[in-house]
Amino acid sequence: MSIEVKVPTLGESVSEATVGQWLKKPGEAVALDEPIVSLETDKVAVDVPAPASGVMGNYVAQEGDTVSVGALLAMIEDGVAAAGGAAPALRTEAPVAPASDTIAPKADAAAPKGDDAAVLSPAVRRAVLEHGIDPSTVKGTGKDGRLTKEDVLAAAQAKQAAPAAPAATAAAPIPAAAPTAPGRNEERVKMTRLRQTIAKRLKSAQETAALLTTFNDVDMTAVMEARAKYKDVFEKKHGVKLGLMSFFAKASVLALKDIPAVNAQIQGEEIVYFDYVDISVAVSAPNGLVVPVVRDVDKLSFADIEKAIANYGKAARDGTLTMADMAGGTFTISNGGVFGGLMSTPIINPPQSAVLGLHRIEDRPVVRNGEIVIRPMMYIALSYDHRLIDGREAVTALKTIKEAIEDPTRLLIDL
Find out whether 110 and 120 touch, Cβ atoms under 8 Å. Answer: no
What is the signed CA dihedral for 329, 358, 412, 375, rounded to 10 degrees? Answer: 180
Q: Which of 33, 108, 386, 407 is catalytic?
A: 386
Q: Are strands 331-335 and 279-281 parallel, antiparallel or unpaired?
A: parallel
Angle between helices 302-318 and 221-238 (to 10 degrees): 80
The catalytically annotated residue of 33, 115, 296, 390 is 390
Q: State how far the Cα of 21 lies from the Cα of 47, in Å rounded to an integer.
A: 9
The answer to whether residues 16 and 165 touch, using CB atoms and an 8 Å cutoff, is no
Based on the residue annotation, tell me whether 390 is a catalytic residue of this protein.
yes
Give the separation between CA 104 and CA 110, rounded to whole angstroms: 10
Residues 6 or more apart whose CB falls under 8 angstroms from that of 383 comprise 211, 212, 213, 345, 346, 347, 348, 354, 355, 357
E-assigned strand segments in 268-398: 270-273, 279-281, 283-285, 288-290, 293-294, 331-335, 354-358, 361-368, 371-385
Residues with a known catalytic role? 386, 390
